[in-house]
C-alpha cells in the first residue's frame, strides 16, 4: 500500500508559500461554502472508490465514503472546453456553442458568463476564487474562433473572481494572478522557484485562498487541476511515481492491441483517438507506461484533497462546506482501440462524481447513488445549494433533492443526452476564415463522425448523424458493459432501437 506523502507536502507548504498559520474562521453565514474540484482527463474508474484500488486515492476515497458517490454520472459533452463551459453555465454544447470546431466554435460572451454559477454567487455576496486550468475564453461578445491568441483573463473575468491563479493549459505559460498585491500567491508560481510541480502548486494556491478568506463571508472556490492530462516527464511529480514504477496495472477487457476493426469505418479513418492509440496505448508496454504516469498524477491530486480537508478542519469550517469532485471528461487509454475522449463510449462519457456536504450528518450521506445525472446539472445544483434562484438559461437539473433524498424519483429523468461535435480535421483548420465551407466539405465527403446519443439505466444509443447513411449503435449495458456487441442490426432489438432513436431526437430538440 502506498502511504500518503503528507509530511513532504506540509513541509513544502510551511517553507514555501503558506508561511502564515491557518486562520480560524467562525461560521457567520447560513450560506454554505462551496468548493468545486475538477481534474483534467481523469477516467472515472482510475480511482479507488470506483473499484480500482490499485489507483491509490485514499483521500478521495474517504470523501466518497463520507459523502454521496454517483455511479451513473455522465458528461453532456466529453472534451475539455465545451465540457467546462457546460458545467459552468448549465447548458448543452449545442446551446452555448463554445467548442473547438465550427460551427460550434464561439467564445463565451460576457452576457452568458454573468449567468454562470460563480458570477451568480459573486452577485449574491460570495467571495469567489479560481485556481488552475481555465480552458475557455470569455469575450465581450461571442466571437470566432474559440481559441484566440490572447485571453485577457483579468479584463474579462476580473469582475467575477476575487482571487485568480489561472492559465489556458499550463501554469508555466500565460499564467495570470490576482490580487496582484498578494506576494505569497505570486511566490507560489515565481519563475525559478524550486518546488514540486503543477499539481502541488495548484494545491498551494488553493490553500492560499483559504488563508486569505474573511471570517464573515461565504466563499465559492473552483479548483481545476491540470492533472491528470499529459504524461511528459515535467507533468509527473516523481516521488509519487516511485511506488508505481514496476506495478502491472490490470488491463480492461475492451483494451485492443493495435487497430480495432470493429469501430465504424468513419471513426477508424478519421478520428484522432485512432492514430493516438497507435502512438500511445496500442501495445502492453505503452499501456503500462501511460497508466503508471496517470496513476502517479492522480495520487498527487489525491494528496491535495487530503490537505484541503485538513485545512478546512483546522479553520473550523468543514461543517459548513460542500465539496464536489469530478473531472472534465474521461479517456480511453486503449479501450476500444482508442486514445483520447469525445466519442460516446463509457470510458469517455462516464464521470466520477462525488458530493460531500459538511452540514449533513454522515448517516445522511455515506452512500452510493444510482440516479442518472449529467454534467449539465453542475451549475444549477451549485446555485441551488447556495440558496439562489436558477436563471432561465440553465438547462440542467438541480440534484440537491437527490443529495438529501427528498426527490421523487418517479419524476426524475430516465435518460441523459450526450453530444460529440469534435472533428480533428476541423480543429486543424480552426483559424481559417472559411471554416464553415471546410466543415460542409467534410460532411459532403462523408468524413464527419459527429454523434449524439442517450444513456439510460440499461441502454446506450449512439447515432453518427451527419454520416450518410446514418450509423447507429445500440448497447445493452446490463449484458454488455464493455460495449462490445452492437445490437443496432439485431432484428429482435428493432423496437427498442426505434424508441431510443426517437428519445434521442426529443432530448436533442430540448437542448438546442
Q: What is the pLDDT of residues 103-128, one digit of tens each?
A: 999 999 999 999 999 999 999 999 99
pLDDT band at 29 (very low <50, low <70, confident <90, very high): low
- CA–CA distance, 217 with 386 (Å, rounded to integer): 13
Q: What is the mean pLDDT of residues 216-233?
A: 96
Q: Mean pLDDT score of the chain, rounded to an integer? A: 93
Report pTM.
0.93
Mean pLDDT along residues 382-403: 98
- What is residue 173's predicted lDDT score, i.e. its pLDDT? 86
Q: Strand locations in 181-337, DSSP E?
A: 219-224, 321-327
The pLDDT, as a whole number, for residue 16 is 38
Q: 469 preceded by cis ω (within 30°)?
A: yes
Over range 375-390, report the average pLDDT.
98
Whether 20 has a pLDDT exceeding 70, the answer reads no
Cell of 123: 452577485
The arithmetic mean of pLDDT across residues 482-504, rounded, is 98
Which CATH number does 30-413 carry?
3.40.720.10
Q: Which three cell numbers stand for residue 232?
A: 511528459
**Coil vs helix vs strand at 185:** helix
pLDDT on residue 195: 64
pLDDT in tens, 480-491: 999 999 999 999
Q: Identify whether the C-beta of residue 75 lies closer than 8 Å to the C-beta of residue 330.
A: yes
Could you tell me which CATH class the domain 418-511 is placed in? alpha beta
Confidence of residue 13 (pLDDT cuts 50, 70, 90): very low
pLDDT at 493 exceeding the cut of 70: yes
Residue 289 has pLDDT above 80, yes or no: yes
Q: Are 199 and 236 in contact (CB under 8 A)?
A: no
25, pLDDT greater than 70? no
Please tell me the distance from the alpha carbon of residue 331 to that of residue 82, in angstroms, as a whole number: 16
Going by pLDDT thresholds of 50, 70 and 90, the confidence category of residue 38 is: very high
Residues of each domain in the chain carrying CATH 3.30.1120.10: 418-511
Q: Tell me how far apart the alpha carbons of residues 6 and 11 are, in angstroms, rounded to a whole number.
A: 8
Ramachandran angles phi, psi of 93, nearest 5°: -55, -45
455-465 pLDDT per residue, tens: 999 999 999 99
Strand order through the sheet with 471-476: 415-420, 451-456, 459-464, 471-476
C-alpha angle 160-165-170 in degrees, rounded to nearest 5: 125
Residue 10 has pLDDT above 90, yes or no: no
Mean pLDDT in residue range 340-346: 98
| Structural contact between residues 340 and 267, judged by C-beta atoms closer than 8 angstroms | no
Q: What is the 3-state secondary structure (H, E, C) of 22-75?
A: CCCCCCCCCCCEEEEEEECCCCCCCCHHHCCCCCCCHHHHHHHHHCEEEEEEEC
Three cell numbers written together for 280? 500511445
What pLDDT score was predicted for residue 191? 82
| Ramachandran angles phi, psi of 381, nearest 5° | -70, -45
For residue 160, what pLDDT is reported?
A: 98
51-79 pLDDT, tens digit per residue, is 999 999 999 999 999 999 999 999 999 99
Q: What is the pLDDT of residue 82?
A: 98
Strand partners, 224: 38, 132
In the chain, % of residues over pLDDT 90 = 91
- CATH 3.40.720.10 in the chain: give the residue spans: 30-413
**Position 315 pLDDT exceeds 90:** yes
- The 10 Å Cβ neighbour count of residue 364 is 13
Preceding peptide of 298 cis, ω within 30°? no
Amino acid at each position: 500500500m502506498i502511504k500518503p506523502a503528507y509530511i513532504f507536502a506540509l513541509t513544502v507548504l510551511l517553507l514555501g508559500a503558506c508561511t502564515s498559520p491557518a486562520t480560524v474562521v467562525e461560521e457567520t453565514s447560513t450560506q454554505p461554502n462551496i468548493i468545486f474540484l475538477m481534474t483534467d482527463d481523469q477516467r472515472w474508474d482510475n480511482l479507488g472508490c470506483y473499484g480500482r484500488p490499485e489507483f491509490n486515492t485514499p483521500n478521495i476515497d474517504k470523501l466518497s465514503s463520507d459523502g454521496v458517490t454517483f455511479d451513473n454520472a455522465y458528461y453532456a459533452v466529453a472534451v475539455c472546453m465545451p465540457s467546462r463551459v457546460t458545467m459552468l453555465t448549465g447548458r448543452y454544447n449545442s446551446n452555448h456553442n463554445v467548442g473547438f470546431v465550427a460551427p460550434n466554435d464561439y467564445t463565451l460572451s460576457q452576457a452568458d458568463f454573468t449567468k454562470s454559477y460563480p458570477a451568480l454567487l459573486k452577485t449574491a455576496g460570495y467571495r469567489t476564487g479560481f485556481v488552475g486550468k481555465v480552458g475557455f475564453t470569455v469575450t465581450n461578445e461571442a466571437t470566432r474562433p474559440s481559441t484566440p491568441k490572447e485571453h485577457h483573463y483579468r479584463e474579462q473575468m476580473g469582475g467575477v473572481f476575487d482571487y485568480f491563479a489561472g492559465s489556458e493549459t499550463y501554469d508555466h505559460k500565460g499564467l495570470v494572478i490576482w490580487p496582484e498585491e498578494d506576494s505569497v500567491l505570486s511566490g507560489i508560481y515565481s519563475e525559478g522557484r524550486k518546488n514540486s510541480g503543477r499539481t502541488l502548486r495548484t494545491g498551494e494556491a488553493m490553500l492560499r485562498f483559504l488563508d486569505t478568506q474573511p471570517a464573515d463571508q461565504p466563499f465559492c472556490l473552483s479548483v481545476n487541476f491540470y492533472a491528470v492530462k499529459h504524461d511528459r516527464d515535467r507533468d509527473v511529480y516523481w516521488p509519487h511515481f516511485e511506488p508505481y514504477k514496476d506495478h502491472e496495472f490490470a488491463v480492461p477487457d475492451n483494451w485492443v492491441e493495435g487497430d480495432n476493426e470493429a469501430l465504424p469505418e468513419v471513426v477508424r479513418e478519421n478520428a484522432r483517438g485512432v492514430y493516438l492509440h497507435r502512438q500511445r496505448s496500442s501495445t502492453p508496454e505503452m499501456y503500462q507506461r501511460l497508466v503508471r504516469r496517470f496513476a502517479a498524477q492522480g495520487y498527487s491530486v489525491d494528496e491535495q484533497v487530503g490537505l484541503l480537508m485538513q485545512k478546512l478542519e483546522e479553520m473550523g469550517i468543514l461543517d459548513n462546506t460542500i465539496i464536489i469532485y469530478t473531472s472534465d471528461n474521461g479517456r480511453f487509454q486503449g479501450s476500444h482501440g482508442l486514445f483520447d475522449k469525445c466519442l460516446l463510449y463509457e470510458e469517455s462519457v462516464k464521470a466520477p462524481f462525488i458530493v460531500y456536504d459538511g452540514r449533513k450528518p454522515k448517516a445522511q450521506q455515506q452512500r452510493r447513488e444510482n440516479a442518472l445525472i449529467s454534467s449539465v446539472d453542475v451549475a444549477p445544483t451549485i446555485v441551488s445549494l447556495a440558496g439562489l434562484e436558477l436563471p432561465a438559461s440553465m438547462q440542467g437539473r438541480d440534484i440537491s433533492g437527490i443529495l438529501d433524498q427528498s426527490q421523487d424519483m418517479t419524476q426524475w429523468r430516465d435518460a441523459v443526452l450526450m453530444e460529440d461535435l469534435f472533428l480533428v480535421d476541423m480543429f486543424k483548420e480552426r483559424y481559417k476564415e472559411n471554416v464553415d465551407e471546410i466543415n460542409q466539405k467534410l460532411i459532403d465527403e462523408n468524413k464527419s463522425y459527429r454523434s449524439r446519443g442517450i444513456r439510460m439505466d440499461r441502454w446506450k444509443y449512439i447515432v453518427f448523424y451527419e454520416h450518410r447513411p446514418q450509423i447507429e449503435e445500440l448497447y445493452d449495458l446490463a449484458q454488455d458493459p464493455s460495449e462490445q456487441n452492437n445490437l443496432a442490426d439485431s432484428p429482435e432489438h428493432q423496437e427498442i432501437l426505434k424508441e431510443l432513436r426517437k428519445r434521442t431526437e426529443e432530448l436533442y430538440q430540448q437542448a438546442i
